[in-house]
A = this chain, B = another copy of it.
Amino acid sequence: MNIKVVVKALEGYTSCDVADALSKLKVPHGGFLAGLTMWSPKRQDGPTKVVGPAYTVRYVRKNYENEPQPSGHYVSSFHQHQYSDERLISLQIDSIPSGSVVFISAPARSINACYGGLMSTRAKYSGAVGTIVDGRLRDLQEHRDLDYPVFARDVGTTAPAETMRVAAINEPVRLNSDDQDATIHPGDILVGDLNGVVCVPQHLAEKVIDLIPSQLEADEKVAADIKNGRLVAESMKEHRSGVKKP
Contact = CB atoms under 8 A, between A and B. Distances in A.
Interface of A: 14-16, 18-20, 22-23, 28-32, 34, 37, 43-45, 47, 66-67, 86-87, 90-91, 93-94, 109, 111-112, 116-119, 121-122, 125, 136, 138-141, 154-159, 161-163, 179-181, 194-198, 219, 222-223, 226-227, 229, 231-233, 236-237, 240
B87 A233 contact: yes
A36 to B, nearest CB: 10
Given A16-B157, A47-B141, A66-B181, 16 more contacts: A19-B138, A23-B162, A29-B111, A29-B112, A32-B111, A32-B157, A34-B156, A86-B240, A118-B223, A118-B232, A119-B232, A121-B226, A139-B195, A155-B196, A157-B195, A157-B197
B236 A86 contact: yes
Q: How many copies does the complex hold?
A: 3
Closest 5 CB pairs of A and B: A30-B158, A19-B157, A90-B232, A90-B233, A28-B66
